[in-house]
Amino acid sequence: MGGFCGVISKNDCVTDLFFGTDYHSHLGTHRGGLAVLKADGNFHRSIHNIQNTPFRSKFENDLAKFAGNVGLGVISDTDPQPLVMTCKHGTFALVTVGLISNIEDLKNELFQNNCMQLQYSTTSGMVGPTEVVSALIATQDSIVAGLNYVQQKIKGSCSVLVMDSNGKFYASRDKWGRTPIIVGKKDGSVIAVQESCALPNLGYDHLRDLGPGEIAELTPDGINTLVEPGKKMAICSFLWVYYGYPASAYEGRNVEMTRYRCGSALAKRTPTEADAACGIPDSGTSHALGYAHEAGIKFARPFVKYTPTWARSFMPQDQRQREHVASMKLIPIPGLIDNKRLVFCDDSIVRGTQLGKQAEKLYSMGCKETHMRIACPPLVYPCKFINFSRSKSVYDLITRRYIREKEGENADLDKYTNPDSQEYKDMVDYIRRNLNLTTLAFQRIDDLIQAIGLPEDQLCTFCWTGKDYAETGDCYHCPCHAEEEKK
């Protein structure tokens, strides 16, 4: 995934930029970067590897070297950013977040037209998504026209922040609004972030969210729309389920409150006798609080998460290492487990490996029953539109492995996304038995949509339903995705 922050101010922007970027650290584990426009019109840029050290620790010694009124920061799981490049528009810096699914086609087109022979200020040794975006911008008559062109050419999603050497600052939200850009304001400063939780402690009031495909110029006094937002939006529902920060709100819908409602819906729809409701840390905790309140049972923490020195569980490239790190972070409390019937809430089940091991540990410590409640529907499709998943194959998903075993590779997947079908029920029971759970239930898509509180046609629910009406007007099995499904 990744997240970015940009600040433009009548005063020095560095402190707000530093802490604003740090508030996005939960979105990535690979690299962090800052760039600030200096008074002489040049950019001061710094990029660090943050795989084993937090962003704040890596950059706190750089702060004394930075000074300027406009700057960009990024937490990136893709390429080294910010990128500083020079072309006919002059010199500008940019950061990007998203997933460009047609990046190879765009590279070939740019190379064929000799558009990639540009003076990049990068040491990555690769042509990454941010470089491709900058090259697309450079083909047009202005930066703003280039940003608009980017949104028309890219498949997937890409939100962009740009600042030029004249101090102009632009924000461009991806065409369908799959990821947010939130603008805040305080006296003499404006900030653009993906996580609204960055605003209050820095003294910013929420001004507004950019609309899907909107391009705006930000100044210390406010925001000026240059390209009007589109009418269609498909913001990622998984923001509220998992990777959004609890204190953040997108399109006016707070993450923590949505998770309470998700847990409440699970308690209403799939009640069970239990001694306590518990969350798999971290995101499952909020869902479990909602479940406990609705069910009228105690909330307990039979697992606590040790975070001071452990990186995020998906950080290592090797799956076995990721599983080991994940299991080492959760420390059990035997007194809350022995002889107890426990309901556990979690955000999702991907491979199922970690959850199966947690169930084994619970039984070994005397747990009588483990009832699992998942805050979203079963993941049947890998995400094609933003970069939050490290899955390399559809068969990383436990659902798809089951469907392949049951019907082969050409099954009608719609049967397995319908919670009222026998095929769906059999799949859920297979997962329950495979993970050795007493009971297992997933959130229904209609309950999840109601918990978020936005109209269904404004949300992307692709990974659960296979439907993407925003970009294709049809489901996953339309011709434009047929070849991708075979891979």
- Residue 243 covered by a domain: no
- Residue 122 covered by a domain: yes
Query: Residue 107 belongs to what H/E stretch?
Result: helix 103-112
CATH number at residue 79: 3.60.20.10
CA–CA dist 479, 487 (Å, integer): 14
From residue 382, alpha-carbon distances to 301, 385, 390, 462 in Å are 31, 9, 9, 8
Shared-domain flag, residues 272 and 211: no
Shared-domain flag, residues 295 and 407: yes
End residue of a domain, out of 199, 233, 267: 233
Shared-domain flag, residues 153 and 29: yes
Q: What is the pLDDT of residue 354?
A: 85
Q: 3-state class of 156 per DSSP?
A: strand
The stretch 377-390 carries a mean pLDDT of: 85
CB 374 within 8 A of CB 316: no
Structure tokens at 20: 């604003």
Shared-domain flag, residues 157 and 280: no
Number of Cβ within a 10 Å radius of residue 168: 17
**Domains of the chain: total:** 2
**In the predicted model, is pLDDT for residue 478 greater than 60?**
no
The string of pLDDT tens digits covering residues 78-125 is 899 999 999 999 999 999 999 999 999 999 999 888 776 544 444 445
Shared-domain flag, residues 229 and 261: no
Q: What is the pLDDT of residue 346?
A: 96
Q: What is the pLDDT of residue 114?
A: 74
Shared-domain flag, residues 287 and 190: no
CA–CA dist 27, 3 (Å, integer): 6
Q: What is the pLDDT of residue 445?
A: 97
Number of Cβ within a 10 Å radius of residue 60: 12
- Residue 246 covered by a domain: no
CA–CA dist 101, 176 (Å, integer): 14
- Residue 55 covered by a domain: yes
pLDDT over 70, % of the chain:
89
**In the predicted model, is pLDDT for residue 150 greater than 80?**
yes
Please give the DSSP secondary-structure letter assigned to residue 229: P
Buried b (16+ CB within 10 A) or exposed e, 204-223: beebebbbbbbbbbbbbeeb
| Adjacent-strand bridge partners of 7 | 71, 191
Q: How confident is the model at residue 389 (pLDDT cuts 50, 70, 90)?
A: low
- Residue 213 covered by a domain: yes
Shared-domain flag, residues 223 and 358: no
Q: Residue 55 carries which side chain, given as an amino acid letter?
A: F
- Triad 187, 189, 193: Cα angle to 5°: 125
CA–CA dist 376, 54 (Å, integer): 30
**Beta-strand pair 330-332/253-254:** unpaired
Which one, of 131, 139, 132, 152, lies nearest residue 227 by Cα? 152
The string of pLDDT tens digits covering residues 174-210 is 999 999 999 999 999 999 999 999 999 999 999 999 9
Shared-domain flag, residues 297 and 228: no
Shared-domain flag, residues 169 and 126: yes
Full 3-state SS string of 116-138:
CCCEEECCCCCCCHHHHHHHHHH
Full 3-state SS string of 428-486:
HHHHHHHHCCCEEEECCHHHHHHHHCCCHHHEECHHHHCEECCCCCEECCCHHHHHHHH
- Residue 303 covered by a domain: yes
- Residue 241 covered by a domain: no
User: Looking at per-residue confidence, does 364 or 113 come out higher?
Assistant: 364
End residue of a domain, out of 184, 202, 233: 233
Shared-domain flag, residues 265 and 212: no
Structure tokens at 298: 């105690």
CA–CA dist 187, 448 (Å, integer): 38
Residue numbers of the domain that contains 297: 256-486
CA–CA dist 392, 382 (Å, integer): 9
Shared-domain flag, residues 188 and 299: no
Q: What is the pLDDT of residue 477?
A: 39
- Residue 250 covered by a domain: no
Shared-domain flag, residues 369 and 418: yes
**In the predicted model, is pLDDT for residue 416 greater than 90?**
yes
The string of pLDDT tens digits covering residues 228-269 is 999 999 999 999 999 999 999 999 999 999 999 999 999 999
Lowest model confidence (mean pLDDT) among 54-58, 82-86, 232-236, 368-372: 54-58
Give 154's Cβ-side CA count (13 Å radius): 32
CATH number at residue 374: 3.40.50.2020
